[in-house]
């Protein structure tokens, strides 16, 4: 039996709540979520790595990720584009998450456009589900996907946070 994956966790106070930053020993981001959604984050970690197949130990600024996220919240929006991420998901989920990283800061796309970008134009709902299963919010910017009519729809951290993140990135938001 393989050794459990050691993960490092740090916490960061942000203007919209405390953020959990989870990294591996190589400084790659494995998960980001809000402390008030920690049970959901652990459920995703269990799904992707296996229950009991990882450990989480407190660490200060693992891989410089906390510093980078602090910079993002202070206005350096571009800092997240170059952060190393690593996660496990199905090939379909991984294609959606790669496409999310290609959405530039200050821009949004619809779920239909997301499905088109991954070459599956009829898989709009499946792309939306994969978007919602993204364990690395903000850095894999699932908040940049909105409804076809331009309104905010779904965000694991809640719509007020999605609105704040988009406005922080310079996107005018319709509710």
Residues annotated as catalytic (active site), given as ranges = 142
Report yes or no: 6 and 15 within 8 Å, Cβ to Cβ. Answer: no
CA distances from 35 to 9, 78, 93, 114 (A): 12, 24, 24, 28
Report yes or no: 87 and 142 within 8 Å, Cβ to Cβ. Answer: no
Q: Quote the tokens at residue 22.
A: 């989870």
**C-alpha gyration radius of the chain:** 16
Give pairs for 160-165: CB < 8 Å, separation 24+: 160/16, 161/16, 161/17, 161/34, 164/15, 164/16, 165/16, 165/138
Measured over the CA atoms of residue 169, residue 163, residue 14 and residue 99, the dihedral's sign is negative
């Amino acid at each position: 039996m393989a050794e459990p994956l050691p993960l490092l966790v740090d916490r960061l106070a942000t203007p919209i709540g405390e953020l959990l930053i989870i990294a591996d020993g190589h400084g790659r981001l494995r998960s980001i979520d809000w402390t008030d959604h920690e049970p959901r984050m652990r459920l995703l970690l269990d799904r992707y790595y296996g229950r009991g197949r990882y450990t989480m130990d407190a660490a200060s600024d693992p891989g410089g990720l906390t510093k980078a996220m602090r910079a993002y919240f202070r206005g350096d929006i571009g800092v997240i584009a170059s952060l190393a991420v690593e996660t496990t998901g199905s090939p379909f989920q991984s294609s959606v998450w790669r496409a999310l990283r290609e959405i530039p800061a200050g821009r949004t796309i619809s779920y239909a456009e997301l499905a088109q970008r991954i070459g599956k134009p009829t898989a709009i709902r499946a792309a939306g589900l994969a978007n919602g299963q993204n364990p690395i919010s903000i850095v894999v910017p699932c908040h940049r996907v909105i409804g076809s009519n331009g309104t905010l729809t779904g965000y694991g951290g809640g719509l007020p946070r999605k609105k704040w993140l988009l406005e922080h990135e310079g996107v005018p938001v319709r509710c």
